[in-house]
Amino acid sequence: MPAYTSREQAVSVFSQLFEIMLEDDAFRAIVRDEALSVRFVHTEPDFELYVDAEGVRVDGPAAPTTLAIKMSCDTADALWNGRLLMPIAVATGRIRIKGSVARVIEFVPLLRPAFDRYPALAAAAGVPTSA
C-alpha cells in the first residue's frame, strides 16, 4: 500500500517539512549564503517542490537549480522516517541527484532536522506509520 493516497496529501506534508526547515535561522542562512536552490522531484504521486531561501513553492519555476533530487513518495517516506538509509537509497538508485556532488556533500547533512520533524508531520496527515 502506498504511503500517500493523494497528491494533495503528499504536497501538504513535504511542503510543510521544508517550510519548517526554513524557519530554522541557521538552515535558512546557509541556504541563502550558499545560494542553494533545490528541486525535489517526487513521483507516485507526481509533483515538484522548489526550495530556496525565499521559501517553498509547489511545481516552482523552471529555472535551473543548484541541485535536483528525485525520488518516489514512498522512498521519501521511508527515508525521512529513518527506515531507509541515504547511502543505500542513493547507491541503489532509489534517490537520484543531479548537480555538483561537492554541493550535495555539503547540503545533505543540513537535512538532519528533517528526520526529527517528518514522522509527526506524516502521522498528522494520516500517512500510515508502517507504510
Q: Which residues bind other proteins (CB under 8 A)?
A: 41, 68, 70, 85-88, 90-93, 95-102, 104-106, 108-109, 112
Q: C-beta of 91: minimal distance to other proteins in Å?
A: 3
Q: Which CB atom, from 9 or from 24, has the smaller least distance to other proteins?
A: 24
Give 54-86 as a DSSP string: TEEEET---S--SEEEEEEHHHHHHHHTTSS-H
Nearest-approach distance from CB 102 to other proteins, in angstroms: 5
Q: Which three cell numbers stand for residue 116?
A: 526529527
Q: Could you give phi then psi for residue 75, rounded to 5 degrees?
A: -65, -45
Query: CB-wise, 20 or 104, nearer to other proteins?
Result: 104
Output Rg (C-alpha) for the chain, integer angstroms.
Answer: 14
How near is the Cβ of 36 to other proteins at its closest, in Å?
13
Question: Which is nearer to other proteins, 12 or 66 (by Cβ)?
Answer: 66
> What residue has cell string 525535489?
40
